[in-house]
Amino acid sequence: MPPAPPRAPAPKHTPKIPGAADATTRLRLIEAAGPVFARRGFADATVREIVAEAKANVAAVNYHFGDKLGLYRAVLEHYSGVAMAAHPVAPGGDTAATTPRARLEYFITAFLERLFHDGKPAWMSQIISREMVAPTAAFQHLAEKHMRPQLETLRAIVAELMALPTSDPRVQRSAASVIAQCVTYKQCGAAHNILTPSQTFDAKGRAELAAHITAFSLAGIAGIATAKTITKKNGHTTRRGQV
């Protein structure tokens, strides 16, 4: 009897990382990680707690994000992108927002809508608040990719209103003041609910708030733009101007 032909080598088996090829696992990890990071902070949050919430494997975090910091960045990126896509900083297509005043009102309205965006969970504000007080290594990426473009858009609007370059300190401070007015209603919402219960944050309340911030900002920007330094005494500068 002739010898049996040699068997073909068995195909090599590549071990499968649980969840690595599953696109839903990545999103599930992001959604599970957000509340954990908000509750504990980046330093105290553990990957084990996150994967338990996501019903995933620790290896899936390494596969999709590299490490805990990569997962944290993905959380910031995902939810910032969701809000930005829903409410862009500048109008697109056919729009009446052609004058700098109209663009300022559009910017303020859109910024408030992003802050109170229904698709962005409440815990995202907790994460941002933590980053403002104790920034992590992920903050620079968040600031450069999401915050800087918004600020540059606003500075361009303010610069046009003031007839000054965007690099002028008056432009930069005025733009920061506009942002601060909007942010305070989100970051200090609990205080506003107690101290100013008449201010609501439903669609009607946000529209009224946007109109107020726009009017207040326009008046302040005009005043700063026309103010002239007349004296400097005892280290204090006195300004005079017309709105």
Q: What DSSP string describes 31-53? A: HHHHHHHHHH-TTT--HHHHHHH
Average pLDDT over residues 200-225: 94
Q: 28: domain CATH number?
A: 1.10.10.60
Residue 182 located in a structural domain: yes
Asked whether residue 25 falls in the same domain as residue 105, the answer is: no
Q: 94: domain CATH number?
A: 1.10.357.10
Residues 6 or more apart from 10 whose CB is under 8 A from it? none
Asked whether residue 128 falls in the same domain as residue 190, the answer is: yes
Distance, CA of 127 to CA of 35 (rounded, Å): 9
Asked whether residue 122 falls in the same domain as residue 36, the answer is: no
pLDDT tens digits, one per residue of 168-205: 999 999 999 999 999 888 878 778 888 888 888 888 99
Asked whether residue 144 falls in the same domain as residue 186, the answer is: yes
Look at residue 239 and give its three-state secondary structure: strand
Average pLDDT over residues 140-160: 91
Distance, CA of 80 to CA of 2 (rounded, Å): 71
CB neighbours of residue 11 within 10 Å: 6
* Contact indicator for 129, 187 with CB cutoff of 8 Å: yes
Asked whether residue 119 falls in the same domain as residue 41, the answer is: no
CA triple 38-115-54, angle to 5 deg: 35
Average pLDDT over residues 151-177: 96
Q: What's the pLDDT at 62? A: 94
- Which residues form the domain of 35? 17-66
In this predicted model, which residue has the larger pLDDT, 232 or 200? Answer: 200
Number of domains in the chain: 2
In this predicted model, which residue has the larger pLDDT, 104 or 87? Answer: 104
Asked whether residue 38 falls in the same domain as residue 85, the answer is: no
* Contact indicator for 154, 172 with CB cutoff of 8 Å: no
Residue 75 located in a structural domain: no
Asked whether residue 21 falls in the same domain as residue 103, the answer is: no
Residue 8 located in a structural domain: no
